[in-house]
Structure 1
Amino acid sequence: MAKGRTFTRRALQDWGWDDTETSEDTLLVASELLTNASLHADGCHELVVAATETGLRIEVHDGTTVLPVRHPAPKPGIPGGRGLHIVERLSDRWGTHTYGTRKAVWAEIEASRLESGTPVTP
């Protein structure tokens, strides 16, 4: 997961979308997608981070077609069940698609948020 986060951070830097609150949120979204693949879906087989016409798309491809389940109400004080809530809250869109024996869980962040986000103060 650390490698995936580093890869995503470098992509954000390459596209000039780093050092903002939204870029930090984007890294958290990537981490959550990678963690979910690791815990629930035979691990991450491929991480795709792409700049699109409208912003940034993160896709985590794993080794199962079982779709993720968003827990309706994570329980306070009990670990787990929050990943997709975090993804939903911090991204502009998210979803899944299956192909063959695999699936991808994806999230998108609009460019306007990445370009005009508040700079992170050290």
Structure 2
Amino acid sequence: MSTTRPYSPGDRGPESGDGGASGAPGGGGLAVPSGGRQARRLSFDGESGVVPLARDFARQALHAWGWLPAASADRRAAAEDVLLVVSELVTNACLHAEGPDELRISCDNKVLRVEVSDRGAGQPAPRTPHRAGRPGGHGMFIVQRLCLDWGVVRTPGVTGKTVWAELGAPA
């Protein structure tokens, strides 16, 4: 399901800057318990190779939170979905929004949330109509298909946006 809501139902929106941890260059973010919710943050400031950096960072978070190594095929598929969504959102920021500024990943027992902030003015949307055989333009279609929900948050008076996506935690 795609949405233009700034946040998912029941959510207060993106986590405030006070509740997370800064990610060090090279993927060194810290886990932060927050009312049963774990969170990690990675800044892309001055970094190159941001897509593999983001995937490695997300993989480390999934290991820390017990999603990996996966004990079943369903858990392995859920972890791979998270890594694919991270790749797609960061790639979109690179291609359409002057590059990503920050990646935030948070998880509770039911939902994992991925947020990618950038300075772009564009509005992400799945290409319509989607043509599976055509190269390119599949990123937001993939996000839409894999996620429970997704959307865009803009802060008035601030350049850029945060694209967020939520995936169900494995059972």
Same fold (TM over 0.5): yes
Structure 1: give runs of 5+ residues left out of the alignment.
Answer: 117-122
Question: What is the TM-score when the length of structure 1 is the normalising length?
Answer: 0.85
Q: Contact conserved, 2:81 with 2:146, CA < 8 A, in 1?
A: yes
Q: Name which of 103, 116, 135 aligns with 1:60.
A: 116
Match of residue 48 from structure 1? 104
Correspondence 1:107 to 2:157: no
* 1:18-67: CA deviation from partner (whole Å, max 9, x where unpaired): 23111101100110001111001111110001124632110010112321
Question: Which of 71, 76, 80 is the equivalent residue of 2:136?
Answer: 80
How many residue pairs align between the two structures?
Answer: 113
User: How well do the aligned residues superpose, as a CA RMSD in angstroms?
Assistant: 1.4
* Greater share of residues in helix: 1
Question: Which residues of structure 2 form unaligned runs of 5+?
Answer: 1-50, 71-75
Q: Looking at CA atoms only, which structure, 1 or 2, has the larger radius of gyration?
A: 2
Once the two structures are TM-superposed, the CA of residue 76 in structure 1 deviates from its matched residue by 4.2
Amino acid at match of 1:108: E
TM-score for both structures, normalised by structure 2: 0.62
Higher relative CO (Cα under 8 Å, sequence separation at least 6) belongs to 1
Q: Which residue of 1 aligns with 2:55?
A: 5
For residue 11 of structure 1, give the secondary structure of its aligned residue in structure 2: helix
Aligned-pair distance for 1:7?
0.3
